[in-house]
Amino acid sequence: MARSNDEVAALLHEYADLISITGGDAFKARVYEKAARAVGGHHADVSTLDAKGLQQIPGVGKSIAEKVVEYFRSGSVAAVEELRAKIPSGVRRLTAIPTLGPKKALTLYEELGISSIDELVVAIHEEKLRDLKGFGPRTEENILHGIALLKSSGDRALLDVAMDLAEDIVSELSRVTGCRRCTYAGSLRRVRETIGDIDVLAAANESAPIMRAFTELPYVTEVIARGGTKTSVRTTKGLAVDLRVVPPDSWGAALQYFTGSKAHNIRTRELAVHQGLKLSEYGLFDVESGERIVSETEEAVYARLGLPWIPPPLREDRGEIEAGLRGELPDLVTEADLRGDLHTHTNLTDGLAPLEEMISTAAERGYAYYAITDHGPNLSMQRMTDERMLAQRERVQELDGTYGTHGRRGGMRLLHGVELNIDPDGQVDWPEEFLACFDLCVASVHSHFNQGRAALTRRIVRACENPYVNIIGHPTTRILGKRPAIDVDLDAVFAACARTGTALEINAHPERLDLRDEDILRARRHGVKFAIDSDAHSVLDLAAMRYGVGTAQRGWLTKDDVINTWPQTRLSRFLHKGREKRRAAA
């Protein structure tokens, strides 16, 4: 499980920040930021590449490649160390606050001597920041919110990081002689958006060989506790992992118990009590006789309680017990239901891979259709022009249907789309006559996040009312642990989407997962349709759809709720029917 790419990406990101803090060339900082994204998204382990191989990665030039080689040769990079020496460590700690940029962190240190988060909180409460240029009450609010965001994330890991580690552990332990079954449980199995620690469950008659193999895994840095049925370790990722080994005949009850959630388990135990039973991780028992009734499978445990098997993403005590008793649990959308991806990028704007490479990888995923949606011109840093977009459209039309898809008959259909920027007044990048020629338009907020609640709400509602906007991308703009959601009246947005036939995106990127599950539940009640999209900026990002599907499942969605599970003819009607309906209402 090589993570060298992540290490190098973090180093390059840090170097970009250090350049910004020290007042260096802004263009150079952006070059290193793009290189960091490219390295993080590269399919091969960069530690195995020489300088020439590294330069084959888009955005990695000779100077950056030499720094990467230097890092793997010596464990550090002289240029990075030189800039680190110029910046007090306290300033670098402050830059971890999601809403505080590097330049403001340096100002706080130079003007007020602030070098810790605790000192910053005190200074804000004493209103010391208000005399500084560029700071004010709203800035203080944003910083405090960023500090709360940082503290709440704590030692929690993003879903993909935890999943990669858990799947590797399960794979290794499953090969141990005597291991009958092994899987991850807990919040990871429920597909929570961030993970505090990982729960792994194994079934075996003898636990010692599995426990020993677990503690000897190469990425285990510390054994926190060791026992016959439970062992806890800490890993190189900082994540704690708990392994529990149970007898094979207790597997189902243990998996149900350790998957949780706590609230869901309380409800299932209450059901057991009302039937004269006792439910634990060892099985479902008759209270009077002590006889174990069922325990080997989750299905058997739930069935004895009068319930169907409840999918793990639903186990949050949000009505799943009542729905199960009524026989009304939803038939949840699955990754296999997805027929396409409707929000992706190429290196024409801020993506890392060329058009053909993105399309080829999408075809390998078996999609029936695939949309390319590079950024419009209002994001000036992307350097989009009418001519460049039209040239891409011509190439997309040439490639349409030429890529065979695994598991499907015929070639993959290509949709030429765009990700539009929703401006502060709700306008988007191009006039309607230009937008009319796109197959679909995703519209997203990319700037002016601090507008007031009413203005932000009007802004997104106005975008929904545009007859050519089909999908609102990453609707709350959040980036987990880094940027909070915008302050918007979501119910007003949901109502506008339902009224105008605009889908809401479930952005599958693990740093976004936007919409979140609670919002999906509310939006569904408004009658909104959804698109599960990767927002891929590299070929590796295309595989993130699994996390979007998990989030959709937590929001109780079926495939009928998700427009990119539909056949292309139905999808096309949705994309064009909305235009006709909104034109008629205009």
The closest of 277, 289, 323 to 269, measured between CA atoms, is 277
> CB of 221 within 8 A of CB of 234?
yes
> CB of 345 within 8 A of CB of 374?
yes
How far is Cα 547 from Cα 560, in angstroms, rounded to an integer? 19
So what's the pLDDT on residue 138?
A: 78
Which tokens belong to 23? 């007042």
Q: What is the pTM for the complete model shown? A: 0.84
So what's the pLDDT on residue 532?
A: 98
So what's the pLDDT on residue 37?
A: 80
Contacts of 116 (CB under 8 A, 6+ apart): 90, 93, 94
So what's the pLDDT on residue 1?
A: 40
Kindly report whether the peptide bond that precedes residue 444 is cis, defined as omega within 30 degrees of 0.
Answer: no
So what's the pLDDT on residue 450?
A: 86
Ranges of residues in the chain whose predicted pLDDT is under 50: 1-2
So what's the pLDDT on residue 94?
A: 79
Domain annotation for the chain: domains and CATH numbers: 4-153 (1.10.150.110), 157-246 (3.30.460.10), 266-326 (3.30.210.10), 335-585 (3.20.20.140)
